[in-house]
A = this chain, B = another copy of it.
Amino acid sequence: MVAELISVGTELLLGNIVNTNAAFLARECAKLGLSLYYQTTVGDNPERLRETVRQALERSDVVILGGGLGPTQDDLTKEITAEVFGQKLKEDAHTRERIQTYFDARGTKNITENNWKQAMVPEEAIVVDNDNGTAPGLILEKDGKIAILLPGPPNELIPMFRKDIYPYLHEKQPETIVSEMVKLCGIGESRAETMISDMIEAQTNPTIATYAKTGEVHLRVTARAESEEAARLLIKPVLKELRVRFGSQIYTTDEHVSLEQAVVDLLKEQELTLTTVESCTGGLLAGRLVNVPGVSEVLKQGFVTYSNKAKRKLVGVKKATLREYGAVSDRTAREMARGAILTTGADAAVAVTGIAGPDGGSVEKPVGLVYIAVAVRGQMYVQECHFTGDRLKIRESSVASALTLLRTGILETAED
Query: Contact string, A38-68, partner B, CB cutoff 8 A, digits 1/0?
Result: 1111110100100010000000000000000
Give Cα A122–Cα B22 distance, bound, in whole angstroms.
32
Give Cα A384–Cα B107 distance, bound, in whole angstroms.
10
Inside 8 A of A305's CB, which chain B residues have their CB? Answer: 301
Query: Are A200's CB and B73's CB within 8 A?
Result: yes
Q: Would you call A368 an interface residue if the criterion is a C-beta within 8 Å of the partner chain's C-beta atoms?
A: yes
Residue in chain B with minimal CB distance to A35: B13
By size class, the interface of chain A is 35 or more
Inside 8 A of A52's CB, which chain B residues have their CB? Answer: 38
Query: Contact string, A365-395, partner B, CB cutoff 8 A, digits 1/0?
Result: 0101000000000000000111111111101
Query: Are A290's CB and B306's CB within 8 A?
Result: yes
Q: Would you call A362 an interface residue if the criterion is a C-beta within 8 Å of the partner chain's C-beta atoms?
A: no
Query: Are A25's CB and B15's CB within 8 A?
Result: yes
Inside 8 A of A194's CB, which chain B residues have their CB? Answer: 112-114
One of A238-246, A277-285, A317-325, A331-339 at the interface = A277-285
A-B contact pairs, 13 of them (CB 8 A): A15-B27, A16-B23, A18-B19, A18-B23, A38-B42, A71-B190, A114-B193, A131-B390, A132-B393, A155-B396, A282-B289, A299-B304, A301-B306
Binding site for B on A (CB under 8 A): 10-20, 22-30, 36-43, 45, 48, 52, 70-74, 102, 105-108, 112-115, 131-133, 153, 155, 159, 179, 188-191, 193-194, 200-201, 209-212, 214, 220, 276, 278, 280-291, 293-296, 299-307, 309-310, 313-314, 344, 356-359, 366, 368, 384-393, 395-396
